[in-house]
Amino acid sequence: MTMSSNRPYLIRAFFDWIVDNDCTPHISVNAESQGVLVPQNYVQDGQIVLNIAPRAVAAFTIDDEGISFNGRFGGVPMDIYVPIDAVTGIYARENGRGMMFPPDEQPEPPPSSTPTGGEARDKGGRTKHGLRLVK
């Protein structure tokens, strides 16, 4: 059975845990990933760290696709969007506790429904079905 990525669930859980412990949640982001919308003049070595504390951002949303909010950079407001797969970690600024994610996590491909040797065939060359009527 194919399952969706656990990354958005873990990010939400760590965000809540960090905030509940009166710490400041930060996310590290691969700024070179497709769909990332961040201020490029703050990117270093393809990475950016963003403060996502409730007091630091407005219109904050985490869903299964990405993280979006309005933040201020150098006093200038900017809409930010980070696809979930571009988040490389979430941690508390005060103590570094949190979680880092492996790069480019891809969902597992669905398992093949046919045996590795191909489809089974009967003597007439027709495909044999895996189910049969039992009386």
In angstroms, the first-to-last Cα distance of the chain is 30
Tens of pLDDT along the chain (135 residues) come to 899 999 999 999 999 999 999 999 999 999 999 999 999 999 999 999 999 999 999 999 999 999 999 999 999 999 999 999 999 999 999 999 999 998 765 444 445 544 455 555 556 665 555 555 566
**How much is the pLDDT for 36?**
98
Q: List Cβ neighbours of 9 (8 Å cut-off, separation of 6 or more).
A: none
- Please classify residue 53 by burial: count the beta carbons closer than 10 Å to its beta carbon, then call 0-12 exposed, 13-18 middle and 19+ buried: middle
CB atoms within 10 A of CB 47: 13
Reported pTM = 0.75
Handedness of CA 87, 106, 97, 14 (dihedral sign): positive
Strands in 17-95 per DSSP E = 25-30, 47-51, 58-62, 66-73, 76-83, 87-92
7-93 carries CATH number 2.30.30.220: yes
User: How is residue 108 written in tokens?
Assistant: 């597992």
User: Where do the structural domains in the chain lie, given as residue ranges?
Assistant: 7-93
Distance between alpha carbon 55 and the CA centroid of its chain, in Å? 23
Spell out the alpha helix ranges (H) of the chain: 7-20
